[in-house]
Amino acid sequence: MDRKPHLMGLAGRIKFAVERRGLQKDVARMAGIPPRTLGHYIAATNEPSATSLMKIAEACDVSVDWLLKGDGDDRFTPSQNAKFGDANFGRVRETSGNDELFGRVFDAVHRLYKEERVALPPIDLGRLAFRKYSEIIDATGDPEECGAMIKLIVAQLRAEIRAAQAAPGTGKASA
């Protein structure tokens, strides 16, 4: 493969990493993602969530940074991709820097909006996650406190969403 993966975009880098690793169905199985879903990511018809991106990176033995931006080495190093769990917000590893924290904030906000069944365009979801991430960075530099802050932000956003849903006249104009 003589392509330049850093110039391909996210879908191209996912495809490059998957092809280098082996069969698409095997990579999907290793990542715990349905093969059809992985196919949609490769075809650029869907974009992966932060959690899915981390799973793909681990299965393909590449860094999340490289998948997202194409920067640096495309080979995985354990300090770049910390092990992840569904709700393991309690420990943000210093070796993974702020990328890991932002990924966790984005994933938490994305899940909340999904759980509450509120549609939010991806650009707005990213902006909201970045604002909340910035609040955490401004408030603390202690990785132990970051997990608690993410949970607090999710609780605050949930309360705001539910209050907006309960208050008449805050949604779209009536026909």
pLDDT digits (tens, 9 = 90+) for 14-52: 998 898 888 888 889 888 899 999 999 999 999 998 888
- 35 token code pair: 């093969």
pLDDT at 142: 75
pTM: 0.43
Q: Is domain 5-69 given the CATH code 3.30.2130.10 in the classification?
A: no
| Encoded amino acid at 80, one letter | Q
What stretch(es) of the chain map to CATH 1.10.260.40?
5-69
Cβ distance 94 to 143 under 8 Å? yes
Cβ distance 130 to 88 under 8 Å? no
Instruction: For the beta carbon of residue 92, count every other beta carbon within 10 angstroms.
Output: 23
pLDDT at 6: 54
| Residue 63 to residue 60: CA distance in whole angstroms | 9
pLDDT at 145: 85
pLDDT at 95: 33
pLDDT at 164: 84
Instruction: Return contacts of 30-38, CB within 8 angstroms, 24+ apart.
Output: 30/59, 31/55, 31/56, 31/58, 31/59, 38/14
- Which residues of the chain carry a pLDDT beneath 50? 1, 77-96, 173-175
